[in-house]
A and B are shown apart, each in its own frame.
Chain A
């Protein structure tokens, strides 16, 4: 009986969502061991997870794993889960996590609980809460199966660095199956120099209230003063003011930053679906009836074009950034 977590390397350590998954695993472990599986990581990257409570990790390395192959990765994760007798497999709902989790569930004859925002119970009797219908309702779900695969919405679970485990790292060579057909990643094109909304701690998003693309520099200035990523509403992306990769909402990206500042965004339900799990929401809008204020912790009723320069200046004086 154990919990297996699919971990993803990033920078000197792991993705923050991986640390969040480890902390979430501790909350349901009931003392069961917490193990990880990772691909193409260094031992130095993996041992950073000890502070979060990861007891052991299987490291899969080799030239054949240099390009991400979803079916093969899912097969390897499933093999490790079976060998460990894992009753719960946790996977962050990142672009790769969402891709492999359903495959792992099929391989392990497990029920899949996607996009969880709360975990309850223990690894052998797991219940989860997840938003549905664009966040207009939540459901509490569980599986009928011996093994449960759950994906966790990034940035919702807190990553707690208060354990002192020494992660034991072992190298793992999955069985090769020559009949396995996998899609293979042949290249990655990162948007260099910009912080992506899906990985940002603070997001400043702009909408129609900015009146035109020429005023978006006001959003960018506020974002700079906070070290934040720039987001956009569907309306301004559809209008061609901003690129699609900045779009927050049901048809764009789902985000849960520490702070989300909505500038001149009315708060259509599709937009709220993508950001309503943010920890602190600030809204600036001249229409006091705008739905965005209903989900806001703090709001300013006013014209963004007039408010943003003043707000940016005052925030700069606190953060020292401009």
Chain B
């Protein structure tokens, strides 16, 4: 099975966010960048599919030079090859999806795996966009996956339960937490990954469709009425919820 795993580099959630000088993006100074946590499930699932059915795992990321780092992690975990699509402009999801779809047309994978969302923009857009650009089905938020021949059976999380979904290969899958337990790369593998080649590739030239006008940090409009645990204060809380907030 020919497997393509798409990963991204994101700021660590615990990092402090400051607005950059352009007024519309994050100031990268001092920000710790990490592999998008959901992408670990996608890489792991790709490796497990290869272990079961044979084939190769190719990992791709689209981003600035610094994001190459996440490909080293994927190689250390066991990815066979890595492709780096350089895009310094931090384009919109359409540009990224187009670049991935064009790569897929060349290397013709049977399955493309994503993390369910990247935790920087939380758009949930790429898996379905790539599916649509290729004319393939996609199954998102997958917590259980079985592929027999070309038949794909999956369970995905929905509001208040799970859906059973079927499709045929080739197919796009996005991984939910719980799909598997991602392996930790061992030190020798990390060392070996440093010298593995990464293929460079240019991004597909298409016009971005979305523009960010401005970025602002939220101003808290919360009441911040913090009380003690005395009976009188708990009474007061219930009264405020009833009369002021009118939520009970």
Taking Cβ atoms with an 8 Å cutoff, the residues of A that contact B are 68, 70-71, 74, 93-96, 98-103, 105-107, 109-115, 127, 131-145, 179-191, 194, 196, 198-199, 202, 226, 244-245, 250-251, 254, 258-259, 268-270, 273, 276, 279-282, 288, 293-303, 306-307, 310-311, 314-315, 318-319
Contacts and interface: CB of A to CB of B under 8 A. Distances in A.
A97 to B, nearest CB: 10
Interface stretch (B51-59, B152-160, B192-200): B152-160
B28 interface: no
B226 A293 contact: yes
A300 B234 CA distance: 8
Interface size class of B (residues with CB under 8 A): 35 or more
Given A184-B167, A186-B164, A298 B19 contact: no
Contact of B13 (A134, A293, A299): A134
A202 B183 CA distance: 38
A306 B227 contact: no
B2 interface: no
| Across the A-B interface, the 3 shortest Cβ-Cβ residue pairs | A302-B229, A111-B209, A196-B160
B187 interface: no
B159 A94 contact: yes
Interface in B1-23: 11, 13-14, 16-17, 19
B211 A141 contact: yes
B17 A133 contact: yes
Nearest to A259: B247
Interface class of chain B by DSSP:
mixed
B125 interface: yes
A137 B216 contact: yes
A70 B248 contact: no
9 contacts: A98-B124, A127-B213, A139-B213, A144-B209, A189-B161, A196-B160, A273-B13, A293-B224, A299-B224
Nearest to B25: A139
A185 B245 CA distance: 41
Given A144-B208, A251-B177, A303 B229 contact: yes
B241 interface: yes
Interface of B: 11, 13-14, 16-17, 19, 24, 26, 37-38, 92-94, 97, 119-129, 131-133, 135-141, 152, 156-168, 171, 177-178, 207-218, 220, 222-229, 231, 233-235, 237-238, 240-242, 245, 247-248
Given A139-B215, A179-B135, A273-B13, A112 B93 contact: yes
A259 B133 CA distance: 40
A153 B131 CA distance: 23
B208 to A, nearest CB: 7
B158 A95 contact: yes
B161 A314 contact: no
A282 B245 CA distance: 11
Nearest to B124: A98
A114 B125 contact: yes
Contacts of B229: 300-303, 306-307
Contacts of B140: 98-99
